[in-house]
Amino acid sequence: MVQFRFLGILMAVAIRTKKPLDLHLAPWVWKQLCSMPLGGRDLEEVDLLTYRTLQGILHLENSGITEDNFHVMIPLDSFIAHSADGRLVPVVPGGQNISLTFANRTEYVDRALDYRLHEMDSQVAAVREGMSTIIPVPLLSLLTALQLEQLVCGLPEVSVEMLKKLVRYRDITESHQLIGWFWQSLEEFTNEERVLFLRFVSGRSRLPSNPADITQKFQIIKVDRVRSSQ
C-alpha cells in the first residue's frame, strides 16, 4: 500500500509539473480515480474470458442448458471465481459454502462481477491518498478517465506536427532543404523511433496533451564544417 501511495504522489507530481509519466494502467483504474461507476464492459476490456464466462452462465437461452443438466454443463459448484491473479476466491463471504444453481445464477454473476470490478478498491484508494498530498483529489471527479490519463501520461503518440511545435531554428530557416529532409525522415519513423528521438533531444518519452505546457524546446543549429587541407 505504501508503494501504491507513492505511485499516487508521482502521478500528482506529473500533473503539477506537466512532465508526463509513461504508465500503462487498466482503463477502469482511471475511471475509479475519477470516481466513475464501473460496469461489465470495463471487465470485458481487461479480462474477456471471465466476462464471457459470466455472460454464458447468465444467458442460457438456446444453449440447451436446463435446471436438470446445469451442474453437468457449468464447471462451477459454488460462489467462487478467479481473481485478477488467478486464485479461486469466494465472491461473497462464505461463498465456497453457497451452492451455485440454475435458480441463483443471476445473483452469482452479479456478485462475481462486483467482486472483480472492486477487488482493487483499496489499492486505488491508496493511489488517491498519495495524489491528495499534492493536488485536490475531489476535483478529479470533474474529469473523464481519458482526460485524467492524458494529464498524467501525456500523449502516447509522438507526431511530427507536435515535434514541429517544440523546435527552435538557429542559423537556418524552416524552409531550408535540410530541414525539409529532416522532417521527412521523422515522418518515415515509426512511433517507437520518434519516442526514442524525443528522449534523445529532451530526455522525456511522453509529450503533454496541451502543447502550451511544453516550455523546453530543442534547437536545430546549422553548422558549417570546412575540411582543412594538408
Give per-residue pLDDT as tens, 79-109. 999 898 888 899 999 999 999 989 999 999 9
HEC per residue, 22-78: CCCCCHHHHHHHCCCCCCHHHHHHHCHHHHHHHHHHHCCCCCCCCCCCHHHHCCCCE
What is the distance between the alpha carbons of residues 218 and 220, in angstroms, rounded to a whole number? 7
**Domain span at residue 11?**
1-154
pLDDT band at 230 (very low <50, low <70, confident <90, very high): very low
Q: Are residues 28 and 96 in the same domain?
A: yes
Establish if 230 belongs to a structural domain.
no
Q: Are residues 147 and 198 in the same domain?
A: no
Task: Provide the CA 197 distance to its chain's centre, in angstroms.
Answer: 23
Give the percent of the chain with pLDDT over 70. Answer: 97
| pLDDT of amino acid 226 | 54
Domain boundary among 127, 154, 181: 154
- The answer to whether 205 and 199 are in contact (CB under 8 A) is yes
Cβ contacts of residue 36 below 8 Å, gap of 6+?
144, 145
**Interval 198-214 mean pLDDT:** 81
Q: Are residues 25 and 81 in the same domain?
A: yes
Q: Are residues 108 and 170 in the same domain?
A: no
Going by C-alpha positions, the residue among 7, 15, 14 that lies closest to residue 139 is 15
Taking CA atoms, 2 is separated from 8, 64, 84, 122, in Å, by: 10, 50, 20, 12
**Interval 151-175 mean pLDDT:** 88
Please report how many Cα atoms fall inside a 13 Å half-sphere around the Cα of residue 58, on the Cβ side. Answer: 15
Q: Are residues 47 and 138 in the same domain?
A: yes
What is the distance between the alpha carbons of residues 181 and 179, in angstroms, rounded to a whole number? 5
For residue 162 the three cell numbers come to 507536435
CATH code for the domain of 135: 3.30.2160.10
Establish if 187 belongs to a structural domain.
yes
The β-bridge partners of 155 are 207
Question: Looking at residue 167, what DSSP letter applies?
Answer: E
pTM more than 0.85: no
- The answer to whether 147 and 210 are in contact (CB under 8 A) is no
Q: Are residues 5 and 24 in the same domain?
A: yes
Establish if 229 belongs to a structural domain.
no
Label residue 125 exposed, middle or buried (CB < 10 Å: 0-12, 13-18, 19+).
middle
Establish if 197 belongs to a structural domain.
yes
CATH code for the domain of 192: 3.30.2410.10
- Summary mean pLDDT of the chain: 89
**Interval 72-81 mean pLDDT:** 87
For residue 179 the three cell numbers come to 530541414
Tens digit of each residue's pLDDT (9 = 90 or more) over 101-137: 899 999 999 999 999 999 999 999 999 999 999 999 9
Q: Are residues 148 and 164 in the same domain?
A: no
Q: Are residues 165 and 114 in the same domain?
A: no
What is the distance between the alpha carbons of residues 162 and 153, in angstroms, rounded to a whole number? 16
Q: Are residues 105 and 165 in the same domain?
A: no
For residue 23 the three cell numbers come to 504508465
Count: domains in the chain? 2
Q: Are residues 34 and 113 in the same domain?
A: yes
What is the distance between the alpha carbons of residues 125 and 2, in angstroms, rounded to a whole number? 11
Which residue type, as a one-letter code, is found at position 52?
Answer: R
Q: Are residues 26 and 137 in the same domain?
A: yes
